Amino acid sequence: MTTTNAPAVIDRAAVVQQDLGSVLHPAVQHKLLEQQQLVIVSAKDSTLVDANGTEYLDGMAGLWCVNIGYGRTELADVAATQMQSLAYYPHTAMNVPAAALATKVNDLLGGDNHVYFVNSGSEANEAGFKFTRQYMKHEHPGEYRYKTIGRYLGYHGTTLSTLAAGGMGDRKMKFEPLGNNDFVHVAPPYCYRCPFGLTYPSCELACVKNIEATIQGEGPETVAAVIAEPVMSAIGVAVPPPEYLVEVEALCRKYGLLLHIDEVINGFGRTGKLFGFQHSGVQPDIVALAKGIVSAYLPIAATVVRNRVFESFYGDPAANRQVNQVNTYGGHPVAAAVALRNIEILLEEHLTERSAENGRYLLDGLNTLRQHACVGDVRGLGLLAAVELVLDRQSKAIMPGPQMQQLVDYCKAQGVIVGRSMGTRFNGNCITLAPPLVLTRAEIDRIVQVLDKGIAALTGNR
């Protein structure tokens, strides 16, 4: 039994009654919740405990976010101490923890940046879009540069603009029309299902050529930025060819666009480097950070701008160049103090290096699943991985939703929580894994074993 700080007595039935009576949940069908009630009461390292005392190994670190693992009670002490001195004041003034956190984040990103604090990954990207536009208005006053190029099957958040920037039809459809043509989409670097039917490296990165054709087609003087996750997560962990981002950066420089990198999932050790873009050595102009910045202990996120962008916002007050928005909780001192300690723990415990090493071990384990004919692809970088299931390797016909759900449910019944790709035309035929970076090798073995049995049960070992 994992030792956690579980509340002493929980009236599970009362919680379920309250919840079903009053909570509107995200993303899950309430009818399903009525049948599958999961009341999580405590957690430690990579293990969750529900109100029945059942333990689950969390292969998804919540929503790809609890990088340093659960149950770090010292973060509760940090929060309590900060709350006793200053619980809140708006970030139009300075505060001690936010200044320290910004310094740390800036240092980790190379020291040539300023950091703007928000509360979620969506807001971090949204602020990035707005900063891009404001920057273009300042720097190119005669031009009308406002479009951001995103990738089909990309995901950048829940707000209307971040949804528009993303390329997941299923996630957008119920809210459309999104009301603008500010976001233009290009083919993703999803090599297993190359949108051009090509194979790397003979493809010569047709997906990058597609970006240049799109910039030219739109009119370069209307395009402001390209947004990209270094490794596309929600699609089912698409790891691009190594030079992909380098070539995207070159296009940004050629056409005077800002490179907006979404590190919401990739960041803080997830891919085996501190930031995903560091695998290719590019220098982004805007970086969106969330999730791992605080391992989800409190809500805080950030939009980091390179100093050449920051300088555009700097000037005489009369010139009205400052960031033209304020958010109530931005730079929240308690969240900032907790985030700073979270990053220190990540660095002190070498969790990025551990992610790289154990990521290779996980990938080796997942690759053994290729013995099942229905495993079409296995891919990953660091502790971010996916197994793509197909009915047939030749046609790559997707494993249908009910079977995928059966596999996810099987793993859960065995005490292992795995994720599933979502919201795309290919609709959820990837098992995704993004465990806490403290995951042990024994836990990796367990995940692989459970998936192995689950896939065998699913297909009769086809």
418 Cβ contact list (under 8 Å, min separation 6):
59, 60, 408, 411, 431, 432, 433, 447, 451
Cα separations in angstroms, 110 against 81, 113, 150, 272, 373: 30, 8, 25, 18, 45
170 contacts 423 by C-beta, under 8 angstroms: yes
Nearer to ligand PLP, 82 or 120 (CB): 120
Query: Does residue 300 bind ligand PLP (CB under 6 A)?
Result: no
Nearer to ligand PLP, 69 or 166 (CB): 166
Q: Which of residues 140-199 bind ligand PLP (CB under 6 A)?
A: 155-158
Q: Which of residues 346-385 bind ligand PLP (CB under 6 A)?
A: none
Total number of residues binding ligand PLP (CB under 6 A)? 16
Minimum distance from residue 130 beta carbon to ligand PLP (Å): 15
Q: Which of 121, 240, 331, 382 binds ligand PLP (CB under 6 A)?
A: 121
Q: Which of 45, 50, 58, 229 binds ligand PLP (CB under 6 A)?
A: 229
Query: Does residue 264 bind ligand PLP (CB under 6 A)?
Result: yes
94 contacts 333 by C-beta, under 8 angstroms: no
Query: Does residue 234 bind ligand PLP (CB under 6 A)?
Result: yes
Site string for ligand PLP, 51-80 (x = CB under 6 A): ------------x-----------------
Burial 119-156 (b: 16+ CB within 10 A, else e): bbbbbbbbbbbebbbbbbbbeeeeeebbbbbbbbbbbb
Choices 38-46, 118-126, 187-195, 411-419; region in contact with ligand PLP by CB under 6 A: 118-126
138 Cβ contact list (under 8 Å, min separation 6):
312, 313, 321
Query: Does residue 260 bind ligand PLP (CB under 6 A)?
Result: no
Distance from chain centroid for Cα 53: 30
Query: Does residue 122 bind ligand PLP (CB under 6 A)?
Result: yes
Query: Does residue 265 bind ligand PLP (CB under 6 A)?
Result: yes
- 21 token code pair: 């009576």
Site string for ligand PLP, 2-41 (x = CB under 6 A): ----------------------------------------
Sequential DSSP letters for 226-244: EEE-SSB-TTT-BPPPTTH
Query: In 307-402, at which residue ranges do the beta strands (DSSP E only) sit?
Result: 375-380, 385-392, 397-398
Minimum distance from residue 125 beta carbon to ligand PLP (Å): 6
With CA atoms as reference, report the closest residue to 269 among 49, 27, 24, 66: 66
Contact residues for ligand PLP (CB under 6 A)?
63, 120-122, 125, 155-158, 229, 233-234, 262, 264-265, 290
